[in-house]
Amino acid sequence: MRIVVFSGLTHTGGLAVAALREADPEGKLIIVEPTVEKSAAAKKQFPWAEVLKMNIDEFIEYLKENAQLIDVFVACSDSDAVNYRFCKTALDTGVPVIIPVLNNPLNRELFQRSGISVIVDPYSSIKPKLLEVLKTDGAISLYESFNSQIVLHAYRPTSRVKPEIPAKGKIAFLTVKADGSTINEAEELDKNETLYVLGVKDVVRKCLESVRAARGRRAAG
């Protein structure tokens, strides 16, 4: 693949470049930096990549002129407004895959309204990590695939329950007992235990609804 990254030598830009090389080590990676100093630093940090020095307006023209040669564009500047300009230009000129890396999670909708579906939010792990550690009751959303089809949720009850398990094939379970041991089933769930549910989004949702409904029906014993 031919991948273009506007990095701005941000922390997210550096992480994105490393991930992109791992994803396609044989592909061509072009890193764009806005200043002479940043482009020189990028050449030292990523000697295997092609590094170009362009300001914002120059890079927008570059996108317009080279869109047909670009397979993936990743926007990692420290400004969502700038990233949006880049992504909108890439979208309008037909770049197949466009991925902005957010600086502010509240700006996700701005990109979505333009038809950009793959959006990286580097802050998205803060909430689920804190909830997984600290929340003692209820459901916790831990992961959602980029196409929103596959999800991973955790659930902790306040009392013993026997959830209604949907037909297998589109869902998988792992229960972590109070002593740290694990079993790959969910026939019964007790207080201080955590049920992890991985599967198709709608199936997981229905499963968790059954667990919540069962909270009022204590399991025997």
Structural domains in the chain?
2-113 (3.40.50.720), 126-214 (3.30.70)
Task: For residues 49-58, give the mean pLDDT.
Answer: 95
Calpha distance 162→207 (Å, rounded):
11
- pLDDT for the residue 217: 52
Give, in order, the Cα–Cα distances in Å from 201 to each of 48, 153, 220: 40, 10, 30
* The pLDDT of residue 167: 63
Find, among 151, 154, 137, 159, the residue nearest to 215 by Cα.
159
Cβ-contact 108, 102 below 8 angstroms: yes
pLDDT digits (tens, 9 = 90+) for 2-45: 899 888 878 899 999 999 999 999 999 999 999 999 999 999 99
Q: What is the pLDDT of residues 110-135, one digit of tens each?
A: 999 999 989 999 999 999 999 999 99
State the DSSP code for 101: B
Helical H segments across the chain, by residue range? 11-23, 36-45, 56-66, 80-92, 108-113, 126-134, 201-214
**Residue with more model confidence, 92 or 158:** 92
For residue 216, name the pLDDT band (cuts at 50, 70, 90): low
The two beta strands, 171-176 and 150-156, are unpaired
Q: What pLDDT, on a 0 to 100 scale, did the predictor assign at position 219? A: 45
Among candidate residues 127, 82, 114, the one with its CA nearest the CA of residue 101: 82
User: What is the reported pLDDT for 190?
Assistant: 86
Query: What is the arithmetic mean of pLDDT over 190-212?
Result: 88
**What pLDDT is attached to residue 98?**
97
